[in-house]
Amino acid sequence: MERFFEWIPTKGYVNFTQAKQEITNYIIGYYSQTRPHRYNAGLSPNESERRYWLNSKTVANFT
């Protein structure tokens, strides 16, 4: 969790809207799509989830 907060500006944000936008951009744009995670064998969370669903077996198929 410490690494998650390393990128936050030391002087903070101008307002709540700016903080919300920048934090959302970080989570969606870098943390989930690009940053490798040791827990996921070096894959990003999005790539790990994609591979999980690609390799999972379908329990039921509704047509």
pLDDT digits (tens, 9 = 90+) for 7-28: 788 888 999 999 999 889 888 8
**Residue in the structure block whose two tokens are 């919300």:** 20
Phi-psi region of 37 (alpha: psi -120 to 50; beta: other; left: phi over 0): beta
Per residue in 27-60, pLDDT tens? 888 888 888 888 888 898 899 989 998 888 766 6
Look at residue 38 in the predicted model and tell me its pLDDT: 83
Q: Measuring CA to CA, how many Å separate 18 from each of 1, 6, 8, 14, 45?
A: 22, 17, 12, 7, 25
Look at residue 2 in the predicted model and tell me its pLDDT: 54
Please determine, for residue 61, whether its predicted confidence score (pLDDT) is greater than 70.
no
The verdict on pTM exceeding 0.85 is no
Question: What DSSP state is assigned to residue 43?
Answer: B
